[in-house]
Structure 1
Amino acid sequence: MAAAAVYFVELQAAGRPATTQRSYGMALLRWFRFLWAVEVAWREATRIGARDFSRWIQIGAKPVRPHWRAPDKPVVVKPKRVNAVTGKRPPGEKYALSTIAHCETVLRSFYAFHLDAGTGPLVNPFPLARAKRAHAHHNPMDRFEPQRAGLYRPRQPKRIPRQIPDEVFNDLFARLSSDRDRALVAFWVSTGARAAELLGVLRSGADPGQQLITVVRKGSRAMQQLPASPDAFVWLRLYQQQIHGLAPAGPDDPLWWTLRKPLRPLTYHAARAMFVRANALLGSNWSLHDLRHTAAYRLARDPGMPITDVQWVLGHASLTTTQIYTTPTPADVIDAVVAHHRRRAEPRPSAEPEPLGYRKESLDVLFGRRDS
């Protein structure tokens, strides 16, 4: 599609990374497939078509693809239940609300771009919501939210990121099978770096002396040094000794390599498969991104760690994004309430003030006490 190609050129010129362009492309592909099914050209799409697409994507099922190893084998959709260890629900058969909202945003910006260029319809089929009275019923203690969003953008529930409890993390860490995997997980859970950011570290980016590791940030593409735990560098040294002489060790070579020969730079999908295998032994379904949530939660709950420092470590552009990690988990709230009841059950000290360096006979005269 020439229209999509021009739009991607605009995204690339605006500095959007390849991952963002891919997610935008998937959203456009869903829309074009819908238009092809109803036999409507993209320039002829109306608000009615956009409304029907928004209805379909909310109730329709995601396409199921056969496994590449058995393309002729019929796909059997098994019922998915909440994981007993993590309490997380696996990806469902329908599109998530976040995916639907992202798709609406992409399509609205796609048509807005072509409206400005004069190559699209006269009216954007994905309009903004109807304007309301400015700041109506606004709580002065809350920040001002954007006044207008997409008309067909669904409301999303406020999500609290899940963090891995310490005892569960220890069990998961014990099931890792190599020093490389232990080093990766230790870095993820201590630096809060994204999975792709850590996998892109070069050999020269690790500084054990200063306990720093240099990553390239996902959004800004800026290089940033992140402090890591000492045990992460211990596992890193053990891993480097294991592959010594087998993998290139130049300063501009990748830090992480596969363990099977021929050695290749470790990719995200290979690292994810490693973590899935460890999860299978534990019976859990934690993700690599949950390690970042765990690091953020540990930092934000530390009373000696300013929230602005946590924001810098995580690379958040807005402080409000970092503040979601200050919300306690149900387990922490339960522990705090149980400790409160325990303190209430303890005997209270006497209300009578203890003499602080004063003579007893002087206090008796002052308070009018008499010896019985």
Structure 2
Amino acid sequence: MLAETGALAETGDPARPYVLLDSQGIVAVPVMAFFAELRACARPAATIRSYGMDLLRWWRFLSGWGIAWDRATPVDARDFARWMQIAPKPVRAHWRRRASGEVQPVRSVRSAASVPNPVTGRAAPGHLYSVSTRAHCETVLRSFYAFHLEESTGPIINPFPAARERRPLPVEAGTPSRLSTGGRYRPSVPHRLPRRIPDDRFNELFAALRHNRDRALLAFWVSNGARASELLTSRQRDALPGEQLLGVIRKGTRAYQQLPSSPDAFVWLRLYQEEAWRAGVPRGAHEALWWTLRRPFRPLGYHAARAMLNRVNELLGSNWTLHDLRHTAAYRMARDPELALTDVQWVLGHAHLTTTQIYLPAGRDEIVEAVRAHHERQTRQAQLPSTSAAGYRPESLNDLFGGHL
């Protein structure tokens, strides 16, 4: 396991939200230049943080082997890709444990296999890096070195090369070759079905909530399909119960959009607001809509909202995520024959209709039930007595004997 040297520090400056610190605590200038390019391309701070975590992992790998970032070769990139396949993810202790100095045990590689959850049927995040994480990391590092290659500030060869040229089978003469646009060390990410929550499971999840704030949050997430972070950007002026609209700031474009929501969500919101205002939560059109439940009152953040759902998961023995609520809302809308798919695309904020179409196929639970029903029909069919002679079609015998068989 690599030593956790360096850090990705938040600056609080909107023009430079994050900086990467190396093992000596010095700001990595090449990464800072790359972040400046991303910011100039209107990439949000969340994207820069995601890229920074991948670059921090690469910086630690290079520091462990004593390799400078501009001296890395494709061999080093290949070793890094192999390392990510077998390296356990670092365990980050809770902030209370870090404050007390408690040591977190190291995970064993042998315990990497994750057992599917008995409630959701989905395996929890394993102890190894997932395929999607490895693919994202390879793409980020390849883009990082491509940027410095264009600026003539890095190595003359990108350590993370594009995939090798793939030639089709010689079926026809003169067939042009096909060049893959992916990275050579980028793993293939399997296609996954939408992670929707079945109606009965959602009712159990909703009933396990203890506060009206949490009930209002889930009611909005499952009705308007907003991302978890988007819903938390709403202000008190953005809730319009008379029109059943709630304004949010979109994650990618940062555009303001009013989303239609269910009447039940506004009922729970009103109950929560009455409790919050009596408790002393700031009241005003420009104030945040969602607040913590305990003093000192602070606007509710993403990690606090996820902790709320995790507490309910521990009670139910499940492992639902906040993004599952968005998938559930998208699945319900996309499967409604009276709702146009382009309308669903607008509500979800998808740039392409093909992204919305992934919610059209049946979900895992529906597929399982359909296959079970198929097996039951096959069993009943096998138990029925045969009424026709072997080798003759039943309709032919009915024509011959006048339908008396």
Shift in Å, 1:333? 3.1
**What corresponds to 2:67 in structure 1?**
40
Deviations 1:282-308 (A, max 9, x none): 111101110001001111111111211
**What corresponds to 1:247 in structure 2?**
281
Q: TM-score, normalised by structure 1?
A: 0.85
Shift in Å, 1:244? 2.2
**What corresponds to 1:351 in structure 2?**
none
Task: Determine the C-alpha separation between the residues in 2 that align with 1:12 and 1:135.
Answer: 44
8 Å Cα contact 2:91/2:106 also seen in 1: no
Residues 344, 131 of structure 1: CA spacing in aligned structure 2 closer, same or farther, 3 A cutoff? closer
8 Å Cα contact 1:297/1:325 also seen in 2: yes
8 Å Cα contact 1:211/1:228 also seen in 2: yes
- Secondary structure at 1:103's aligned position in 2? helix
Task: Determine the C-alpha separation between the residues in 1 that align with 2:334 and 2:60.
Answer: 43
Shift in Å, 1:340? 7.8
Task: Determine the C-alpha separation between the residues in 1 that align with 2:338 and 2:179.
Answer: 33
Paired residues for 1:141-180 under 5 Å: 147-180=180-213
Q: In the alignment, which of 337, 349, 353 is matched to residue 319 of structure 1?
A: 353
Shift in Å, 1:79? 7.4
Task: Determine the C-alpha separation between the residues in 2 that align with 1:91 and 1:340.
Answer: 32
Deviations 1:10-38 (A, max 9, x none): 11111111111011011011111111111
Task: Determine the C-alpha separation between the residues in 1 that align with 2:63 and 2:234.
Answer: 43
Tell me, yes or no, if structure 1 residue 279 matches structure 2 residue 306: no
- Secondary structure at 1:56's aligned position in 2? helix
- Secondary structure at 1:226's aligned position in 2? strand
Paired residues for 1:218-257 under 5 Å: 218-245=251-278, 246-257=280-291
- Secondary structure at 1:247's aligned position in 2? coil
Name which of structure 1's ranges 125-134 and 115-124 shifts more when overlaid on structure 2.
125-134
Tell me, yes or no, if structure 1 residue 196 matches structure 2 residue 226: no
- Secondary structure at 1:244's aligned position in 2? helix
Paired letter, 1:190: S
Shift in Å, 1:133? 4.9
**What corresponds to 1:12 in structure 2?**
39
Shift in Å, 1:9? 1.0
Q: In the alignment, which of 186, 204, 207 is matched to residue 219 of structure 2?
A: 186
Deviations 1:190-242 (A, max 9, x none): 01000110011011111101100011000011111110000000000111111
Task: Determine the C-alpha separation between the residues in 1 that align with 2:68 and 2:282.
Answer: 52
- Secondary structure at 2:259's aligned position in 1? strand
RMSD of the TM alignment (CA)?
2.5
Task: Determine the C-alpha separation between the residues in 1 that align with 2:115 and 2:367.
Answer: 26
Paired letter, 1:250: G
Shift in Å, 1:330? 3.4
**What corresponds to 1:212 in structure 2?**
245
Q: In the alignment, which of 288, 299, 308 is matched to residue 265 of structure 1?
A: 299
8 Å Cα contact 1:134/1:147 also seen in 2: no
Task: Determine the C-alpha separation between the residues in 2 that align with 1:109 and 1:337.
Answer: 44
8 Å Cα contact 1:202/1:255 also seen in 2: yes
Task: Determine the C-alpha separation between the residues in 2 that align with 1:36 and 1:261.
Answer: 43
Paired letter, 1:72: E
Query: Which structure is richer in relative contact order (CA contacts within 8 A, separation 6 or more)?
Result: 1
Tell me, yes or no, if structure 1 residue 60 matches structure 2 residue 90: no
Task: Determine the C-alpha separation between the residues in 1 that align with 2:105 and 2:43.
Answer: 35
8 Å Cα contact 1:51/1:152 also seen in 2: yes
- Secondary structure at 2:81's aligned position in 1? helix
- Secondary structure at 2:319's aligned position in 1? coil
Residues 261, 66 of structure 1: CA spacing in aligned structure 2 closer, same or farther, 3 A cutoff? closer
Shift in Å, 1:251? 1.2
Residues 131, 67 of structure 1: CA spacing in aligned structure 2 closer, same or farther, 3 A cutoff? same
Shift in Å, 1:57? 0.9
Paired letter, 2:276: I
8 Å Cα contact 2:113/2:126 also seen in 1: no
Paired residues for 1:61-76 under 5 Å: 61-70=88-97, 71-75=101-105
- Secondary structure at 1:327's aligned position in 2? coil
- Secondary structure at 1:215's aligned position in 2? strand
**What corresponds to 1:307 in structure 2?**
341
Shift in Å, 1:343? 10
Shift in Å, 1:72? 2.8
What is the aligned length? 339
**What corresponds to 1:107 in structure 2?**
141
Task: Determine the C-alpha separation between the residues in 1 that align with 2:170 and 2:240.
Answer: 53
Residues 58, 335 of structure 1: CA spacing in aligned structure 2 closer, same or farther, 3 A cutoff? closer
8 Å Cα contact 1:66/1:75 also seen in 2: no
**What corresponds to 2:399 in structure 1?**
none
Unmatched tracts of structure 1, length 5 or more:
138-144, 346-372
Name which of structure 1's ranges 318-327 and 293-302 shifts more when overlaid on structure 2.
318-327
8 Å Cα contact 1:163/1:290 also seen in 2: yes
Paired letter, 1:73: V
Deviations 1:253-306 (A, max 9, x none): 100111112221111111111111111111111011100010011111111112
Paired letter, 2:254: R
8 Å Cα contact 1:80/1:90 also seen in 2: yes
Q: TM-score, normalised by structure 2?
A: 0.79
- Secondary structure at 2:95's aligned position in 1? coil
